[in-house]
Amino acid sequence: MYYLTKIEDTVRILPYRFEDPLEEVAIETLNETYNGKLDKKLGLLVSVTDIDDIGEGKVIMGDGSTYHDVVFNAIFFKPELQEIIDGEVIEIAEFGAFIRIGPMDGLVHVSQVTDDYINYDSKRGALLAKESKKTLEEGNKVRTRIVAISLKGKSSKETRIGLTMRQAGLGKFEWIEEEKTKGKENKKAKKGNKK
């Protein structure tokens, strides 16, 4: 889930940037400093969007830069337990599929792809369901549910997000459409039998 959060901090403006518009330089500097940083409570900082307030600059002896107290708005991505989220398969491995969900990646273990038995096809780089003949490959769009989260470290590379697709309404988009079509056909057949 994405959140817009207000943050107070101090930004350092280097002397060679003094002639540039202060707010633009401050946003640029904050983005360079914080983009991709992970906070356990707030999540992953995606972007500093704008500045609400920027204080008068202070100079510290021995440093030609100015330091400004700022209040800025930033967009954070924080995955929530049990959240349903759409993503794209970015890598297939023998043990599961890595899914890009916004600015982070999660893993759908082979046991969580379908109720069917899954085989790994190394030549195709795909996961294949034995009975239903469903396939999962790089580039497929999927809908998943977050079932485990471990936000550790200071970047998204150190996070662990566990996903599942083994519930109704989840999986590869084509599988979801097939389920809907079968459901409609079953309703029609039941209505026909009642007449």
Q: What is the pLDDT of residue 159?
A: 84
What gap in Å lies between CA 79 and CA 84, rounded to an integer?
A: 10
pTM score, two decimals? Answer: 0.79
DSSP 56: P
Q: In 10 A of CB 102, how many CB atoms?
A: 18
Look at 68-72, 85-89, 122-126 and tell me which has the smallest mean pLDDT: 122-126
Residue 157 confidence (pLDDT): 75
Question: Which of 86-90, 113-117, 176-180 ranks highest by mean pLDDT?
Answer: 86-90
pLDDT at residue 49, rounded to an integer: 94
Q: Which domains does the chain have, with CATH numbers?
A: 2-77 (3.30.1490.120), 84-173 (2.40.50.140)
**Better-predicted residue by pLDDT, 141 or 157:** 141
What is the sign of the dihedral through the CA atoms of 30, 32, 33 and 38?
A: positive
What is the per-residue pLDDT across 153-195, written as a single tens digit (0 to 9) for each? 776 777 899 999 998 899 999 998 988 887 777 677 676 666 5
- Say if CB 89 and CB 144 are below 8 A apart: no
For residue 88, the number of C-alpha atoms closer than 13 Å in the C-beta half-sphere is 5
Query: What pLDDT, on the 0 to 100 scale, is given for residue 194?
Result: 63
pLDDT at residue 195 in the model: 57
Per-residue confidence (pLDDT) for residue 193, from 0 to 100: 65
Q: What is the pLDDT of residue 178?
A: 86
* CA–CA gap between residue 49 and residue 4 (Å, rounded): 9
Q: Which of 89, 87, 85 is nearest to 136 (CA)?
A: 89
Amino acid at 46: V
